[in-house]
Amino acid sequence: MNKKAVFLALIVLLSLVTINTVSAEDTCETCHPGPANDYALSSKSEFLDCADCHGSEHMGPETSDPTTVTPKTCERCHEEKVSEFSEGKHALGWEAMLAVPTYHDMPEAVTEKGCVTCHSIGYIWEDGSQGRCDTCHTRHLFSADEAREPELCGTCHAGDHPHYEMWENSKHGMLYATGSERAPTCVTCHDSHNVITAWGFLGLRPGDQDDPEWYEARQKIIVTMDSMGPGLAPNVMRDTYEEWEDLRENMIDRCEECHSESYARRELEKGDNLLRESDLLMANLIDLANMLYDDGVIDNMTRFGIYREGTANRFSAYMGGFHNSAKFAWDEGYLALAQTLVSERDAAIEAKKISMMLPMIQDNLLPLSTAGVVLGVIGIAMISWYWYKNRT
């Protein structure tokens, strides 16, 4: 046997053994120093090790993958919190994203960073559980204190539903910015896991038909939200008016921790009134967009764009009102919604003027164009005759 070949085979074998085994002195930190360092700072490190969550099958490179951690894993120790989360709005985040048609129409490169980043908080796992606890309790520290900080909520509650920026602009947010210990944060009013409010994300509710004008406007908005997609998401509005009232009373109880009951009711009623006015304006914008579409002035994509801009303005108006942010209630909200309506109305008027004038212009241009052709022929004939007579 070739000694050189045997020697090389032993070297390869020893290398494989070295790669595929972990010595007794090695720990998870050997390959995963970052997560291990974070976990060492976690309170969980005092009574759990990595294998308790990730399983013991993964013992180094080329071994079994670590056990996937899902809410069912967390539920072993945090049954109550997982239950609260599963009954709340965040657990439906993944389903809400999938319900929107435009999500499926966009490139994956866009949705991965523009949608999935936030909506994965309600991710549906193969074991049937929903949610990603590490969305708020970031790995591997899993700090409850960090998760309660409003800045963390601001990661997702921004853009066209800027709850964090509204709170930041409010008196509550200003107090927080000064370092005041009495400043309420997001979890003070919305709890940490349930996060369901009376009006919900879309500001819609069933029943309450004693205000016919508002009721009619809300029906138009519901139909529009369905056509856009958000209205198709689960639990976007309360099932009954009574459920809405119960959640409103829960919020009153929260407000009473710092304010009088009469003040709390008065301020929330102001928010209701602002929502009503915003709905009436939004309904007018919907009517205008539908009229332009039916008349063939705009296509469906442009109509969708008008819906979306108006919806973003409406969100800012009523959410700004309930978060006590004058900037969003007015500048980014009701005023912006009114300006959108006016600009679209003016564009519609211009389009209508042009459509009315076009037949008249065409009728007048036809005789002129005919006369122009005749004169042109006569001119060419005269030039040709002149050239013929004077040729050398």
* pLDDT tens, position by position, 177-187: 999 999 999 99
The proportion of the chain whose per-residue pLDDT surpasses 70, expressed as a percent, equals 84
Q: Which of 58-62, 319-323, 366-370 has the lowest mean pLDDT?
A: 366-370
Q: Across residues 226-249, what is the average pLDDT? A: 93
pTM listed for this prediction: 0.81
pLDDT, residue 20, reads: 46
CB 61 within 8 A of CB 115: no
Split at pLDDT 50, 70, 90, the class of 105 is very high
CA distances from 39 to 33, 223, 324, 333 (A): 10, 48, 39, 43
pLDDT value at 103 more than 70:
yes
pLDDT digits (tens, 9 = 90+) for 128-139: 999 999 999 999
pLDDT, residue 368, reads: 52
pLDDT digits (tens, 9 = 90+) for 339-374: 999 998 888 888 777 766 666 656 665 555 555 565
pLDDT, residue 206, reads: 83
Distance CA(54)–CA(65), nearest Å, equals 9
pLDDT, residue 59, reads: 84
CA distances from 81 to 35, 55, 97, 268 (A): 24, 22, 24, 29
The CATH code for residues 158-385 is 1.20.850.10
CB 286 within 8 A of CB 220: yes
- Cβ-count burial 99-111 (b if 16+ within 10 Å, e if not): bbeebeeeeeeeb
Q: What angle do CA 17, 20, 21 make, to 5 degrees?
A: 80
CA distances from 236 to 57, 99, 193, 225 (A): 42, 12, 17, 10
pLDDT value at 23 more than 80:
no
Q: Across residues 65-74, what is the average pLDDT? A: 92
pLDDT, residue 353, reads: 72
Two tokens, residue 360: 């008249």
pLDDT, residue 19, reads: 46
Output the average pLDDT for the chain.
87
Q: Which regions of the chain carry the CATH code 1.20.850.10? A: 158-385
pLDDT, residue 160, reads: 81
Cis peptide before 161 (omega within 30 of 0): no
Q: Across residues 257-261, what is the average pLDDT? A: 96
Cα–Cα nearest to 186, from 204, 202, 203, 162: 162
